Structure 1
Amino acid sequence: MNVPRTLSIAACAFALAGSAAVADAAKVYRWTDKNGVTHYGDSAPNANQTAAAREGSVKEIRVQAEPSAIARLRVESDGGRYLAFADNTLAGPIEVLVSFSRSNNIVGDPPLPARAMVPPRSSALVAVLSAADPGRGGDFELRMDSLPGDPNARPGDIEYLLPLRQDEFRIDQGYGGQFSHTDSQNRYAVDFAADVGTPVVAARDGVVMQVESDFDKAGLNRERYGGRANFVRILHDDGTMALYAHLRSEGVMARVGQRVRAGQQIGLSGNTGFTTGPHLHFAVQVNRGMRLESIPFRMRGPSGPLRIASGSP
């Protein structure tokens, strides 16, 4: 829901945990050929298809898609035992926790719940499952929780750049803002006022670890929109991660795995997810052992070091 321009505070919360990331939207393309036959596809028609389509008949339809997965659980049979693997889909390290949802005469080695670190775009064997009593049958169900980042990250004392390319800026919600910066993931986040389409730049060198760009809705229903926004997550050399959230639909301008420099444009600000209005949500986060936490940071503005006050103006 769009908020009137007279609203002075733009605030948000952004949560990212579990085995799934941010819910997004996808596109389906529909076109009618010269014979009147209607076609559907998950990509725009190619040159031959377009030539065969009636002029102006190609339509783009937005549909709700499943959330993008941070990691996938894969179980393989291995001669009477089962191997539980975690597949990391991100361009940065993740931590996973595999546990039993149900277990009947099945044990894990190591015992479940078991944690594992999984390198970028790699797989890791988390546990080997077998019958506790080989003389009788058994069955089991597994669940896996996953979180971006390495719990061994050691944040350095770094001065970040202002993440927006604009002459003037305003902080609408600072550290510990009571509207939405009260949990560990957002406690040290900052919401910068920004019109939709304002260039968003990397505040520090790093590797683009994760992006979402197709979500197109916003509102104040936390259950529906909390954690649902377009964003870019950038991994820094010390293991910390910068989150740039609430970007415009299709407003991501960086690709996963890309190395970016401080000041390089990575997207366009927007108004997606749990938010009261257009702004950029910026946070520096670390994984503290299956717990994502935001941390205080230093930042330089146009006139020198930026003073980030607590709460909201």
Structure 2
Amino acid sequence: MFSRLQRGVVVTGISLLLLSVVVPAQTLYKYRGPDGEWVFTDREPLTEDEVEVRELPGSDRGQGVSLQRQLLNGRWQLIADNSLLVPVQLMLSRVDATEKAKEWILSPQSRTVLESGEAGDAGDGRYRYVWLPGDPAAQHSPDQPYRAPFPAAVSHRVSQAYPDARTHTTADSAYAVDIAMPIGSNVHAARGGTVIDVTSNNYRSSDSLESADGAAANVVRIVHDDGTFAIYAHLNWNSIRVRPGERVTRGQYIADAGNTGFSTGPHLHFAVIRNAGLKMVSVPVEFALAGGNSVAPTAGMMLTAY
């Protein structure tokens, strides 16, 4: 899911469709090992007896909102296609006009007519637009503290949390939590929701955001029932066990911790964000403690999952 504003200029003098970039999927094999244990691997097993084959989606960063203009029976329509599994806030204005930009909330996986008119009455057909996932009306309202995102009774150390801002210097990461976790450690959902985005095919890391490797973290993004998004980042290569559209429950195993993307060492980057009006901002979270209490994470603390 996008945490930065997406911009574009569309020339619609003729019918035009902006095509998404599709990254080939990966294959995951699941089968029983010699001792009856479940084995997950990207390598094809020697026997195909009782093997479940799943296609893991690659990065879908080419998806999102596309605009097209169509002409039918002497009338034109400007149409917005939202391919995402969440609402999208869209702001649109004509390049050749001075009127105020118009705004829409596009429903998930929808097609919306933005403007229409008689043929020849579309100005020069050039539009400027920006969009961002999420409904700005959504408010962060969890019904209980978040579960620490790893197996119950396991503890890991928080390496960065608000107000510590060594690398969390943007609005969408200000309240993010970095948890030092060895590569291969199990990552569990901190809160239930629906998977909306998976990036699973990266395997390198860098301590520089400017490098291609620094921008290429493996990520799972989950939308909660209140419209906020959870981000689980720097996951291990080819370890993600969920797919877009899948409903996950609190405490469900979703992936392995790793060291992909902008990272100086193995850890999990966890954040809850919302669209605050064409701007993604992170929100404070608290994790559950024993006995029904909760705690705000701070750098250096040991966090245990309950």
- Could you state the TM-score of these two structures normalised by the residue count of structure 1? 0.70
**Alignment partner of 1:197: what SS?**
coil
Residue 184 of structure 2: aligned partner: 197
Q: Distance in 1 between matches of 2:26 and 2:299?
A: 44
Distance 1:74 1:193 in 2: 45
1:255 aligned onto 2:243? yes
Number of residue pairs matched? 257
Q: Once the 2 structures are TM-superposed, how far is the Cα of residue 197 of structure 1 from its aligned partner?
A: 1.7
Structure with greater contact order relative to length (CA < 8 Å, sep ≥ 6): 1
Query: Where does structure 1 lack aligned partners over 5 or more consecutive residues?
Result: 1-13, 30-43, 45-63
User: Cα gap change, 1:15/1:289 in structure 2, threshold over 3 Å: closer, same or farther?
Assistant: closer
- Asked if structure 2 preserves the Cα contact closer than 8 Å seen for 1:96 and 1:117, the reply is yes
**Distance across 1 between alignment mates of 2:89 and 2:76:** 21
| Cα pair 2:217 2:234 within 8 Å, conserved | yes
- Which amino acid in structure 2 is aligned with residue 73 of structure 1? L
Which residue number in structure 2 is paired with residue 173 of structure 1? 160
Q: Amino acid of the residue matched to residue 196 of structure 2? A: M
What are the within-5 Å matches in structure 2 for residues 236-247 of structure 1? 236-247=224-235
What is the aligned partner in structure 1 of residue 150 from structure 2?
164
In structure 1, which of residues 83, 98, 119 is the aligned counterpart of residue 107 of structure 2?
Answer: 119
Q: Is 1:155 matched up with 2:143?
A: no
Could you tell me which residue of structure 2 aligns to residue 309 of structure 1? 298
Amino acid at match of 2:133: P
Out of 247, 258, 267, the residue aligned to residue 270 of structure 1 is: 258
Asked if the contact 1:94/1:117 (under 8 Å) is kept, the reply is yes
What SS does the aligned partner of 2:277 have? coil
Name the CA distance, whole Å, in 1 between partners of 2:290 and 2:176: 20
Query: Which residue of the partner structure matches residue 88 of structure 1?
Result: 82
Letter aligned with residue 144 of structure 1: Y
AA of the residue aligned to 2:68: R
Q: Equivalent residue of 2:104, what SS?
A: strand
Distance 1:28 1:238, change over 3 A: closer
Contact 2:157–2:300 (CA under 8 A) maintained in structure 1: no
- CA deviations 1:86-145 (Å, max 9, x no partner) are 222222222122344x43xxx59xx563221111211222334778x95xx953333433
1:281 alignment counterpart: 269
Counterpart of 2:238 in 1: which secondary structure?
A: strand
For residues 233 and 19 of structure 1, do their structure 2 counterparts lie closer, same or farther at Cα, with a shift above 3 Å needed?
Answer: farther
CA RMSD of aligned residues (A): 3.6
Please give the residue correspondences for 1:1-313 in structure 2 after superposition, counting only pairs within 5 Å: 15-18=3-6, 26=24, 67-78=61-72, 82-100=76-94, 102-103=95-96, 113-128=101-116, 138-157=123-142, 158-165=144-151, 167-225=154-212, 228-301=216-289, 305-309=294-298
TM-score with structure 2 setting the length:
0.71
Misfit runs of 4+, over 6 Å: 310-313
How much identity, in percent, do the aligned residues show?
34
- In 1, are the aligned partners of 2:157 and 2:301 still within 8 Å (CA)? no
The structural deviation recorded for 1:161 is 0.3
